[in-house]
Amino acid sequence: MQKNLHVSVLLDFYGEMLTQNQRALVGHYYNDDLSLAEIAQHEGITRQGVRDTIKRAEIQMFEMEERLGFIKKHREIDSALEQIRAAMTEIAEFNLRYGCSREINERAKMVYELTERLN
């Protein structure tokens, strides 16, 4: 079982749909970086039991993302926001450097259209 970093993200988004027990074991494994053996000892269950519980939880969360796509959507928004910030920085710079300029209007227009596509 290879630790998959993406599972931490799945846990952030979909962890609340898991049982408390699933959430705890997945969290120990992916966020607290414990081994299956360490978790098994800590929980008083078998290593195989820990592995099965984590695997089942992972599959459930992957399927939720397949169906709902909230992580994908979140990344699109994040990427858009990054562009917005970059544009804002440029607006401020052009404003300082050249005074009222064509570039300012172009940036403002681009940002406006970007946020409309986000809706």
Q: Which residues are at the interface with a copy of itself (CB under 8 A)?
A: 13-14, 16-17, 64, 67-68, 70, 77-78, 81, 84-85, 88-89, 91-92, 95-96, 98-100, 104-105, 108-109, 111-112, 115-116, 118-119
How far apart CA 6 and CA 45 sit, in angstroms, is 26
From the CB of 118, what's the least distance to a copy of itself, in Å? 6
Nearer of residues 37 and 118 to a copy of itself, judged by Cβ: 118
Nearest alpha-carbon partner for 77 in 42, 48, 117? 117
How far apart CA 38 and CA 33 sit, in angstroms, is 10
Nearest alpha-carbon partner for 15 in 31, 4, 3? 31
From the CB of 51, what's the least distance to a copy of itself, in Å? 25
